Amino acid sequence: MSGPPYPLSPVAGSNGIGLFAIGISAVGDIPTFDVWKTVISQYANSPILTTLIGNLFSYLDQTVNIETFFDNVINIDTAIGHGLDVWGNILGVSRTLQVATGDNFGFAEALPGSDSFGQGAFYAGTPLTSNYQLTDAAYRVLLLAKAAANITDCSIPALNIILLSLFPHRGNCYVTDGGDMTMTYTFNFALSPVELAIVENSGVLPKPVGVSATVVIDF
């Protein structure tokens, strides 16, 4: 006895997810539900019934809404606005950064975050900061970096990859191990106040437990 003329639909528990068979099912947009497959032949030629069915289906069809929700929220590569904020709650990264509004007077060893004679005020105990909302593009990069940081082994190569993803095509940036429970993030290019806040305050750049990290800008 021969098998069916069409492939059987996979069921939950097979090599797939729900009705999606890995390596078999097509990948792309959600297929539109064919309502006419539910209408038996004896009603197919009734103009009143087919019109009612067609109208009801157009009113209730959620294909576009589901695709929009997937693109704007579920898929981090295309998510926007509130969708990225949802990802931020999942990954523990805020869109709002505390950016320093000015540098204090200091010497070379206080860099970054200090100015020389005649350019900065004396440190008063609490640095002045302001809230800065990241754009969707910048926030997406930060979220992806945090996602990578959540699963990193904190090795030097892994941390370097995260740095390069945060600051692509900017120049050299790398991590060095001090060998005494210290580590240094070195940047051979200037960082804007927002970028410096990402490095120092966002919590994206990981470090092993018990290790102190410092930021050095050398260019």
Instruction: Let me know if residue 138 belongs to a domain.
Output: yes
Instruction: Let me know if residue 8 belongs to a domain.
Output: no
- Domain hosting 208: range is 82-217
Model confidence at 84, pLDDT cuts 50, 70, 90, reads very high
Take residue 143 and report the two structure tokens written for it: 């979220």
Among residues 35, 95, 24, the alpha carbon closest in space to that of 63 is found at 35
Whether the per-residue pLDDT at 7 is higher than 60: the answer is no
Sheet architecture: strand order including 173-177: 173-177, 182-187, 212-217
Whether the per-residue pLDDT at 80 is higher than 60: the answer is yes
How many domains does the chain divide into? 2
Examine the domain organization and report whether 116 and 39 are in the same domain.
no
Instruction: Let me know if residue 207 belongs to a domain.
Output: yes
Examine the domain organization and report whether 23 and 90 are in the same domain.
no
Give the percent of the chain with pLDDT over 90: 15
Examine the domain organization and report whether 43 and 104 are in the same domain.
no
Q: Indicate the residue among 26, 43, 73 that finishes a domain.
A: 73
Whether the per-residue pLDDT at 26 is higher than 70: the answer is no
Examine the domain organization and report whether 164 and 209 are in the same domain.
yes
Q: What is the mean pLDDT of residues 138-166?
A: 87
Take residue 161 and report the two structure tokens written for it: 């990859």
Instruction: Let me know if residue 5 belongs to a domain.
Output: no
Instruction: Let me know if residue 175 belongs to a domain.
Output: yes
Q: Which residues of 94-119 are buried (b: 16+ CB within 10 A; e: fewer)?
A: bbebebbeebbebeeeeebbbeeeee
Mean pLDDT of the chain: 77
Q: Which of 27-31, 88-92, 186-190 has the lowest mean pLDDT?
A: 27-31
Rounded to whole angstroms, how far apart are CA atoms 175 and 96? Answer: 26
- What's the pLDDT at 86? 94
Q: Indicate the residue among 54, 73, 92 that finishes a domain.
A: 73
Which residues are registered as beta bridge partners of 216? 186
Whether the per-residue pLDDT at 87 is higher than 80: the answer is yes
Whether the per-residue pLDDT at 102 is higher than 60: the answer is no
Give the percent of the chain with pLDDT over 70: 72
Instruction: Let me know if residue 91 belongs to a domain.
Output: yes
Model confidence at 58, pLDDT cuts 50, 70, 90, reads confident
What is the enclosing helix (H) or strand (E) of 57? helix 47-60
Examine the domain organization and report whether 165 and 86 are in the same domain.
yes
Take residue 3 and report the two structure tokens written for it: 């098998």
Q: Indicate the residue among 38, 73, 108 that finishes a domain.
A: 73
